[in-house]
Amino acid sequence: MKVLKFGGTSVGSPERMKKLLDIIQPEERQIVVLSAVSGTTNSLVEISRALSVGDKLLAEKLIKHLHEGYKQFIQELFTTEEGRSNGQELIDYHFDLIRSFNTSIFSPIEEKIILAQGELISTTLYHFYLTEIGVRSKLLPALDFMKIDEDNEPLIDFIGKHLKDLVLAASDHNLFITQGYICRNAFGEIDNLRRGGSDYTASLIGAAIRAEEVQIWTDIDGMHNNDPRIVKGTRPIANLTFNEAAELAYFGAKILHPQSVFPAQRYNIPVRLLNTMDPQAPGTLISEVAQHQDQVTSIAAKDGITAIRIQSSRMLLAYGFLRRVFEVFERYKTPIDMITTSEVAVSLSIDDTTNLKDIEAELLDFGTVSIDSDQTIICIVGDFGIHKHGYASRVLDAVKHIPLRMISYGGSDYNISVLLSTSDKVEALRSLHNRLF
Ligand code: ADP
Ligand code: ASP
Ligand code: MG
C-alpha cells in the first residue's frame, strides 16, 4: 500500500482539490494524507493568538474572514445542491466550534483544538467531493490512531495497530483519506505534530503499516540543492539517502518537516518528493542507496538558533565535565544541535529557548556563560567521508568574508555546518551556492 501526502497548496483551491484525481488512482489501495487548505493553519494561529490575549473583536473578525473564504470554497467545489448543503453544514459546524472559544477560558488545550480544524475540514470536504462525483473513499480519523507520548514521541506500534484495525474494518474500500498534522497526546487531548507536520504524519503512517512507498506531493519538483526562496538557480536533486535528507530537513529545508525522515528510514520505506503542479517531473527519491559520490549535494539553513558558550577553568583536564553540561540540557528537555569544544570552553547551539533562563542559571555553576541569539545554522550536505579532502576549505573559503560563530566538521560523513549571525544568512547561502555548485 502507498501513502500519498498532499500539502496546503496542493489542496489550496477547489480547482486544485479537483485536480488531485490526476494523481490519485482511486482503484489502487492507498492512504491519502491531506494538509489544511493553504493559509488556514496560519489563520488559526492568528485566531488563537487573539483569543489568548482576550481580543474577542479581532478573533471574531479573523474567524468571519476565514469562514467567508470557506463558504466561497464550497460553492466552487461542489456542483449539486446536496453537495453544497453538506459542505455548508460541515464548515458551519467547525466554525461554530471555533467561535465557541470566544466565550470560554482559553488555554493551550483549546488552542490545539482550534489548530486541528484545518485538516479536519480539508479531509472531510475532499471526502464529500469524491462522494459527490461517485468516487468511493473512506475517511480515517487521525485522532483515532495518531498518538504521541509525554515526550512528544510518536507511538509507532500503537499507530500501526489502530490504523490497521480501521483499514480492516473498511476492507471493501481502496482509497483511504486521513488528516495530516493532528494527533492525540499522552493525556488523550487533541494535539499536533508541529508546523508542517503532515509530512511527519505520512512518514509515520508509512512506517506503521510498512508501506511500499511514501509520496510527498508539494508545490516544487523535489528537494533543491539550496533554498529556492533565497537563492536563484537552484535545481532538484534526483536522489538522496535517508541520512542526507534527514540532515537537510532538520537543518531547515522547509519542503520536509524536520523529523519526517526518521520513521520511513527506520523501516527502509522509500520517500518520493513530487510536484502536484508538474506530476511528470521525476522529483526526489529518498532511499538507502547513495547515488552520488565526491560532491556537495545540498545546502540548507535553520534560523532561530541560540549559541551558548560556557567558559570554565575547571574543564581543564576534567573528565565528566561535558556530561554535567549535557545533563543540564537533558533536565530541561532541550535538544542541542551543534557543539564545539576547546580545552577551556564549550560552545553549543539550541533552538528551543523555552527554558533558557533556567539553563543559564544552572550553567553558571560551571563558569562564565555567554549567550548569542539570532543565529543561523547553515548545513552543507555531501559526501565528506573521513578519507576525503578539500571540502572544508571550499566551504570556509566561500564564507571567508563572514564572521563565523561555530564550525562543525567530522560529526558525520555527510555534513559540514557553520553557525553565523542570521543577518549574514542570505549572503552566506548565495556565496556558498556560487562557489560549491
Ligand atoms: P507543503 O504545503 O506542500 O507542505 P511547504 O511550503 O511546506 O509545502 O514546502 C514546500 C516549499 O519548501 C517550497 O515551495 C519551497 O519554497 C520551500 N523550500 C525550502 N527549501 C527547499 C529546498 N531545499 N528544496 C525544495 N523546496 C524548498
Ligand atoms: N497545516 C499544518 C501547517 O500548516 C500542517 C502541514 O501543512 O503540514 O503547519
Ligand atoms: Mg510542508
C-alpha of residue 252 to centroid of ligand 1, in Å: 10
DSSP H helices, 133-191, are: 156-169
The ligand that comes nearest to the alpha carbon of residue 252 is 1
Q: Using one digit for the tens of pLDDT, what is the confidence trace for 137-189?
A: 999 999 999 999 999 999 999 999 999 999 999 999 999 999 999 999 999 99
- In this prediction, residues 92-111 reach a mean pLDDT of 93
Beta carbons within 10 angstroms of residue 81's beta carbon: 8
Ligand 1 atom closest to the Cα of residue 216 is 3
> Based on the number of CB atoms within 10 Å of its own CB, is 412 exposed (0-12), middle (13-18) or buried (19 or more)?
middle
Q: Using one digit for the tens of pLDDT, what is the confidence trace for 356-373?
A: 999 999 999 999 999 999
The amino acid sitting at 431 is S
Residue 254 Cβ contacting ligand 1 at under 6 Å: yes
Residue 7 Cβ contacting ligand 1 at under 6 Å: yes
Q: What is the pLDDT of residue 343?
A: 82
- In this prediction, residues 341-358 reach a mean pLDDT of 94
Residue 372 Cβ contacting ligand 1 at under 6 Å: no
Candidates 51, 52, 53, 70; CA nearest to 61 is 51
- What does DSSP say about strands 175-179 and 30-34: parallel, antiparallel, or unpaired? parallel
Residue ranges covered by each domain of the chain: 2-218, 297-436
C-alpha of residue 192 to centroid of ligand 3, in Å: 14
C-alpha of residue 200 to centroid of ligand 1, in Å: 14
Q: What is the pLDDT of residue 69?
A: 98
C-alpha of residue 206 to centroid of ligand 1, in Å: 21
Residue that wins the pLDDT comparison between 105 and 78: 78
Spatial separation of the C-alpha atoms in residues 193 and 143, rounded to whole Å? 12
**pLDDT exceeds cutoff 80 at 111:** yes
Question: With contact defined as beta carbons under 8 Å apart, do 328 and 363 qualify?
Answer: yes
DSSP H helices, 303-399, are: 321-331, 356-363, 391-398
**pLDDT exceeds cutoff 90 at 293:** no
End-to-end CA distance of the chain: 38
Q: What is the pLDDT of residue 15?
A: 98
Q: What is the pLDDT of residue 260?
A: 96
Which helix (H) or strand (E) is 131 found in, with range? helix 108-132
Candidates 177, 202, 227, 203; CA nearest to 379 is 227
Q: Using one digit for the tens of pLDDT, what is the confidence trace for 200-230?
A: 999 999 999 999 999 999 999 999 999 999 9
**pLDDT exceeds cutoff 90 at 105:** no
pLDDT band at 317 (very low <50, low <70, confident <90, very high): low
The amino acid sitting at 12 is G
- In this prediction, residues 268-277 reach a mean pLDDT of 98
Radius of gyration of the chain (CA): 23
Ligand 1 atom closest to the Cα of residue 222 is 25
pLDDT band at 291 (very low <50, low <70, confident <90, very high): confident
- In this prediction, residues 4-10 reach a mean pLDDT of 98
- In this prediction, residues 392-415 reach a mean pLDDT of 95
Residue 404: all three cell numbers together: 563565523
pLDDT band at 321 (very low <50, low <70, confident <90, very high): confident
Homologous superfamily of the 297-436 domain (CATH): VC0802-like (3.30.2130.10)
The ligand that comes nearest to the alpha carbon of residue 379 is 1
Q: Using one digit for the tens of pLDDT, what is the confidence trace for 369-392?
A: 999 999 999 999 999 988 989 999
- In this prediction, residues 420-428 reach a mean pLDDT of 98
Pocket-forming residues, ligand 2, beta carbon under 6 Å: 7-8, 35-36, 41, 118, 180-181, 195-198
pLDDT band at 274 (very low <50, low <70, confident <90, very high): very high
Distance of CA 254 to the CA centre of its chain: 7
C-alpha of residue 228 to centroid of ligand 1, in Å: 8
**pLDDT exceeds cutoff 90 at 236:** yes
- What does DSSP say about strands 345-350 and 296-311: parallel, antiparallel, or unpaired? antiparallel
**Percentage with pLDDT > 90 across the chain:** 92
Residue 387 Cβ contacting ligand 1 at under 6 Å: no
Ligand 1 atom closest to the Cα of residue 8 is 2
pLDDT band at 255 (very low <50, low <70, confident <90, very high): very high
C-alpha of residue 193 to centroid of ligand 2, in Å: 9
With b meaning 16 or more CB within 10 Å and e meaning fewer, what string describes 177-198? bbbbbbbbbeeeebbbbeebbb
Strand order in the sheet with 138-140: 138-140, 175-179, 30-34, 2-6, 213-218, 271-275, 284-287, 239-241
Candidates 3.20.20.70, 3.10.450.750, 3.40.1160.10, 3.40.630.30; CATH matching 2-218: 3.40.1160.10
**Percentage with pLDDT > 70 across the chain:** 99
In degrees, rounded to 5, the angle at the alpha carbon of residue 164 between the alpha carbons of residues 161 and 166 is: 110
Spatial separation of the C-alpha atoms in residues 416 and 424, rounded to whole Å? 18
Q: What is the pLDDT of residue 141?
A: 98
| 430 phi, psi to nearest 5 deg | -70, -45
Residue 258 Cβ contacting ligand 1 at under 6 Å: no
Q: What is the pLDDT of residue 334?
A: 96
Spatial separation of the C-alpha atoms in residues 187 and 167, rounded to whole Å? 25
**pLDDT exceeds cutoff 90 at 88:** yes
Which residues lie below 8 Å from residue 227, measured CB to CB, with a gap of 6+?
234, 252, 253, 254, 299, 300, 301, 429
pLDDT band at 312 (very low <50, low <70, confident <90, very high): confident
Ligand 2 atom closest to the Cα of residue 193 is 5
Collapsing DSSP states into helix, strand and coil, what is residue 299? strand
Residue 223 Cβ contacting ligand 1 at under 6 Å: yes
pLDDT band at 313 (very low <50, low <70, confident <90, very high): confident
Q: Using one digit for the tens of pLDDT, what is the confidence trace for 15-50?
A: 999 999 999 999 999 999 999 999 999 999 999 999
Across the chain, mean pLDDT equals 96
